[in-house]
Structures are given as structure tokens and as C-alpha cells.
């Protein structure tokens, strides 16, 4: 697969994952538990697809470096994104496990944290992409 295709697939799958997380939150807040479950499992599926596409891109092509004027802001976003992305994988796995095994009390305690981290990681992934695009132009 080419760099552009892997970039497109990575951006698309993480965006779908983020949208599905937000949808799942809306579903659970409106009492639609089955839709919530489907949205969250779909979000998890797209997040796993993202990891595959991003991993392929990372190993097949050298990472790009930001060359723009907002280096400090870029580094803050990149570092916070990277740390929270690493935390999000086990956090999401535990949250999904608790929900699927019916441990709803624990699931309800951890799920809002997981959702917030997940959304932050998805949004900042797009921001990092935008930074890198701007750096190439400038």
C-alpha cells in the first residue's frame, strides 16, 4: 500500500472511531443501550483498524517531522497525544471487557474517562496531521 492510501485509511478509521464514540455517548444518555453497545464495539473495531494502518505506515515509510513555526505547540500536542494514545488502548480494552461481561457499575465509572481520552486522541491525531501538512507548505 502507498503512503497516501495508508494516510487516508488511518485518518478515516480514527475519525469514524471518534464519531462512533460520540454517538455511543449520545445513545447511552438517551437510554438506547443496544445502539450504544453497537456504536462502541464499532468504534473499537475502527480503532483496531487504525492501529493496523498506522503501524503499516510507520514501518513502511519514515515518519515526517514538523518543520513549521509552532514547534512548541506541536510538541505539546504530539506528546500529550502519544501518552494518552498509549494509555487509551488498555483503558479501552478494560472498559469494553467490563461492559461485555455485565460489570456495569465498574463500566460506568471508567467509561467516561475512556471516552474523553479516546476523543482527545482522535481529535489530536487529526491536529497532528494538520500540523504536518502546514509544515510541508511553510
Give per-residue pLDDT as tens, 67-89: 888 999 999 999 999 999 999 99
At residue 31, the 3 state secondary structure works out as: coil
Q: What is the chain's alpha carbon radius of gyration, rounded to the nearest angstrom?
A: 16
pLDDT, one tens digit per residue, over 40-68 is 999 999 999 999 999 999 999 988 889 88
Question: What is residue 1's predicted lDDT score, i.e. its pLDDT?
Answer: 75
pLDDT value at position 65?
A: 87
Q: Which residues contact 43 (CB under 8 A, 6 or more apart)?
A: 16, 17, 18, 20, 21, 24, 118
pLDDT in tens, 27-37: 999 999 999 99
pLDDT in tens, 93-137: 999 999 999 999 999 999 999 999 999 999 999 999 999 988 765
Pick the CATH number of 3-137 from 3.40.630.30, 3.30.930.10, 3.40.50.10880, 1.20.120.80: 1.20.120.80
Query: Residue 105: what pLDDT?
Result: 97
DSSP 54-119: HHHHHHHSPPP---SS-HHHHHHHHHHHHHHHHHHHHHHHHHHHHHHTT-HHHHHHHHHHHHHHHH
Question: Do the beta carbons of residue 118 and residue 89 sit within 8 Å?
Answer: no
Give pTM, 2 decimals. Answer: 0.89
Question: What pLDDT is recorded for position 138?
Answer: 52
CA-nearest of 15, 36, 17 to 111 is: 36
Amino acid at each position: 500500500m502507498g503512503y497516501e492510501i495508508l494516510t487516508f485509511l488511518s485518518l478515516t478509521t480514527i475519525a469514524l472511531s471518534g464519531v462512533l464514540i460520540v454517538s455511543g455517548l449520545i445513545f447511552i444518555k438517551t437510554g438506547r443501550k443496544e445502539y450504544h453497545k453497537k456504536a462502541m464495539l464499532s468504534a473499537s473495531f475502527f480503532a483496531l483498524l487504525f492501529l493496523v494502518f498506522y503501524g503499516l505506515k510507520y514501518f513502511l515509510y519514515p515518519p515526517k517531522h514538523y518543520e513549521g513555526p509552532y514547534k512548541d505547540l506541536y510538541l505539546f500536542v504530539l506528546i500529550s497525544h502519544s501518552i494518552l494514545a498509549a494509555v487509551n488502548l488498555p483503558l479501552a480494552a478494560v472498559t469494553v471487557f467490563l461492559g461485555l461481561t455485565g460489570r456495569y457499575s465498574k463500566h460506568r465509572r471508567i467509561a467516561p474517562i475512556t471516552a474523553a481520552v479516546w476523543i482527545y486522541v482522535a481529535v489530536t491525531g487529526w491536529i497532528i496531521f494538520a500540523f504536518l501538512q502546514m509544515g510541508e507548505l511553510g
